Amino acid sequence: MKHGKKYNAAAAKYDLSKKYDVASACKMVQDMKFAKFDETVEAHVSLRLEKNATVRDTLVFPNQFRGEKKVLVFCKGEKVKEALDAGAAFAGEEYVDKVKDGWLDFDIAVATPDMMKDVGRLGMVLGRKGLMPNPKTGTVTPNVAQAVAELKKGRTEFRADKAGTVHIAVGKCSMDAEKIAENVQTLLSEISRKKPAGAAAGFVQTVSLSSSMGPGVWVDYKEGE
């Protein structure tokens, strides 16, 4: 794959065939940034998974870097006030019809269990956008206040793709490198915690970090760290 002059100049600063500890890798990614905008720092974690298996969960990074997201809660009765008081941008059962008609002015959707029969019919709309509430990610719950509060704090989902790799943003290049490193360590701890029972050693195969436009840096990571 061919890269531009700026990319190649950035990549020439370090020996990118080697692995580095998390803190060093974060600083290197920042140093190799060359775009004029504030690039996102991304982590890529390759996992050893059985066929058709996946890893999926949510986490709250200790150091936030995203703008506040608009949360929609599909709920009814007293849960509507509970959701709005907790900071939801929208709440109510009438939003099922609004979404069905094409309205999607929100970032995250939450639903109470009693609403899933109706919300499930929105699969073609919400599923394509990755917005369908799911018990595994804590977005189908009777405790809407807690869910909204955590989501507004930055709770985000991670999941392995079909190739068994988790791709997720962990910070911005403008952040302190130490804060990015804390986020990376939190991610790796959460992924390791989701290791399937009976999985062999080497569940986490490789870890790399990069900015949106810059070269990747291999991370020297061992399970249990």
Mean pLDDT along residues 70-85: 96
Supply the pLDDT for residue 53: 79
Beta strands in the chain (DSSP E): 19-20, 40-47, 56-59, 71-74, 90-91, 108-111, 156-159, 165-172, 204-211, 217-219
Mean pLDDT along residues 57-63: 88
Rounded distance between C-alpha atoms, residue 50 and residue 124, angstroms: 28
Model confidence band, residue 173 (pLDDT cutoffs 50, 70, 90): very high
Rounded to the nearest integer, the mean pLDDT of the chain is 91
Supply the pLDDT for residue 224: 58
pLDDT, tens digit, for every residue of 19-31?
A: 999 999 999 999 9
Rounded distance between C-alpha atoms, residue 35 and residue 224, angstroms: 35
Mean pLDDT along residues 115-138: 90
Radius of gyration of the chain (CA): 20
| DSSP designation for 214 | S
- With tokens 């991370």, the residue in question is 219
Is residue 186 exposed (0-12), middle (13-18) or buried (19+ Cβ within 10 Å)? middle
46-50, 150-154, 166-170, 218-222: range with lowest mean pLDDT: 150-154
pLDDT for 37 beyond 90: yes
pLDDT, tens digit, for every residue of 182-200?
A: 999 999 999 998 887 766 6
Please list, in sequence order, all residues whose beta carbon lies within 8 angstroms of the beta carbon of residue 82, skipping any fewer than 6 positions away.
Answer: 75, 144, 145
Structural contact between residues 172 and 65, judged by C-beta atoms closer than 8 angstroms: yes
Model confidence band, residue 139 (pLDDT cutoffs 50, 70, 90): very high
**Top-confidence residue, 163 or 136:** 163
| pTM for the whole structure | 0.73
pLDDT for 218 beyond 90: yes
Q: How many CA atoms lie within 13 A of 130 on its CB side?
A: 5
pLDDT for 154 beyond 90: no
Rounded distance between C-alpha atoms, residue 47 and residue 206, angstroms: 7
